[in-house]
Amino acid sequence: MYNNPYLQNTRDRIDMQIEQLKQMKEQLPTQQPAINQTFQLAPSGGMKYANSIDEVQKELVYTDTPYFSNDLSVVWLKNTKGDIKTFEMSEIVQKDEKDLKIELLLAQIEELKKGIEHESSNADVVKSTKNAKSTKVSNDKSSDSE
């Protein structure tokens, strides 16, 4: 009964299936998990930076998008049609009373400097006219009536 060829064949098949299952089990952990990719086509809504208008022109936008230069001095506004508007930006510094007073005094100093320069140039003109002898007017005090 133990040497029955039918039982031996069945055992061999079972052993072969066990081996196949072991091989399959060993292969499972080595398989890579499925990779899911998600593409976000909607705008991020954040600030974008660009070094030049050329970079802005290359970008595709889905809504009006501002691009700032790295030093924040220029803003490019690109719309969905591809039109670009360029703006210059400068920081507006809030001035307190001391800053305003300093600014006023500096302006007054500049006015005084201009006044002094104007007076000194007038004085130079007066000196030069006193020193210059006219060729049309005689310096001789004698009269022709003698």
pLDDT band at 106 (very low <50, low <70, confident <90, very high): very high
Q: Clarify whether residues 102 and 74 are in a common domain.
A: no
Structural domain boundaries enclosing 120: 93-128
Q: Clarify whether residues 81 and 102 are in a common domain.
A: no
Residue 103 lies in a domain: yes
Q: Clarify whether residues 83 and 60 are in a common domain.
A: yes
- Region for 45 from its dihedrals, namely left if φ exceeds 0, alpha if ψ lies in -120 to 50, beta otherwise: left
Q: Clarify whether residues 80 and 106 are in a common domain.
A: no
Q: Which two tokens stand for residue 122?
A: 């007038």
The 3-state DSSP composition of the chain as helix, strand, coil percent (nearest 5) reads 45, 10, 45
The pLDDT of residue 144: 52
Q: What is the pLDDT of residues 10-69, one digit of tens each?
A: 889 999 999 999 988 887 766 666 777 777 665 556 678 899 999 999 988 888 899 999
Q: How far is CA 55 from the centre of its chain?
A: 11
Q: How far is CA 114 from the centre of its chain?
A: 40
Q: Clarify whether residues 101 and 123 are in a common domain.
A: yes
Residue 141 has pLDDT above 60, yes or no: no
Residue 119 lies in a domain: yes
CA distance 79 to 61: 7
Residue 107 lies in a domain: yes
Residue 82 has pLDDT above 70, yes or no: yes
The pLDDT of residue 6: 78
The pLDDT of residue 68: 92
CA distance 68 to 78: 11
Region 86-101: mean pLDDT is 90
Q: Clarify whether residues 78 and 52 are in a common domain.
A: yes
Residue 23 lies in a domain: no
What is this structure's pTM? 0.39
Residue 124 lies in a domain: yes
Place of tokens 């302006």: 107
Q: What is the pLDDT of residues 112-137, one digit of tens each?
A: 999 888 887 776 666 666 555 555 55
Residue 34 lies in a domain: no
Residue 4 lies in a domain: no
More confident residue, 3 or 109: 109
- Total domains present in the chain: 2
Residue 81 lies in a domain: yes
The pLDDT of residue 146: 46
